[in-house]
Amino acid sequence: MLPCTQKPSELSWKPKGIILSGGPYSVYEKDAPHVDPAIFELGVPILGIYYGLKEIAWHHGKNVVALFKDLEDNLKVWMSRGDKLGALPPSFYIISTTKNGPFAGIAHETQPVYGIQFHPEVTHTPQGTKLLENFAVKICQAKQDWTMANGGVDSTIAAKLMHEATCDRFHAVLVDNGCMRLDECEQVKETLTKHLGINLTVADTSDLFLDGLKGITDDPEAKPSENSSVALSSTSSKLRLLRLKRG
């Protein structure tokens, strides 16, 4: 996840594809963010969603079957407009329309560049996830050799944003309560520190937490013993100590 103003030349890697997401701006506003035109020269598939669609049109002053593969001819979608695309940019053609939106979806004649004026990421577009899958897997040919994290996505995003905003002043803490998957803490630490550059400390309080769960076997509503409070208190103490050590 990068800002739309990210310069491709500053990346140490080449993306499989690019999604230009929506936003509250109008492309005509004085301070509206605009993508680096160099992204259109990378030779990778591009999907513009809402504001991203207008960014494509702004910068351009048949692969359609793949994008809509296995989807119905008539889709229920969520559209919210500020600006409205009034004409096709050069070398683009229409791939989807609505009653009030003649350019609900467009595609470049020769390049894998697409734009849609509806939001596939919301629940109001029932088949939107499939459309995004088509773009990522069928068009970008991204490999599905990863597994979705079980929780922690929001906190990871928040940690990355905090790191970008405060740099070395931000310190993230992962509390190992003993109920994580095998080697999950090590994997999370490697991902956040090595790949995202986040300063992460893993606080191992598994013994205290597991002691608090002793005797609880069948009833999911059963309350943990008083030891769980001790575990939480001990964890808080460790985190306070960590904060003091870091000054």
The residues, ordered by sequence, that sit 6+ positions from 238 with a Cβ below 8 Å of its Cβ are: 203, 205
Dist CA 129 CA 123 (whole Å)? 9
Among all chains, which residue has been given the structure tokens 């904060």? Answer: 243
Nearest-CA neighbor of 128 among 95, 65, 62, 79? 79
HEC string of 64-92?
Answer: HHHHCCCCCCCCCCCCCCCCCCCCCCCCE
Is the distance from CB of 30 to CB of 1 less than 8 angstroms?
Answer: no
161: which 2 tokens?
């944003």
Binding residues for ATP: 150-156
* Cβ contact 52:80 at 8 Å: no
26 CB neighbour count, 10 Å cutoff: 12
Q: How far apart are the first and last CA of the chain?
A: 31
- The shares of helix, strand and coil residues in the chain, as percent rounded to the nearest 5, are 35, 10, 50
Question: In angstroms, rounded to a whole number, what is the distance separating the alpha carbons of residues 94 and 105?
Answer: 6
Q: Per the annotation, where are the binding residues?
A: 150-156
Instruction: Look at residues 180, 179, 188, 181 and name the one whose alpha carbon lies nearest to residue 160.
Output: 188
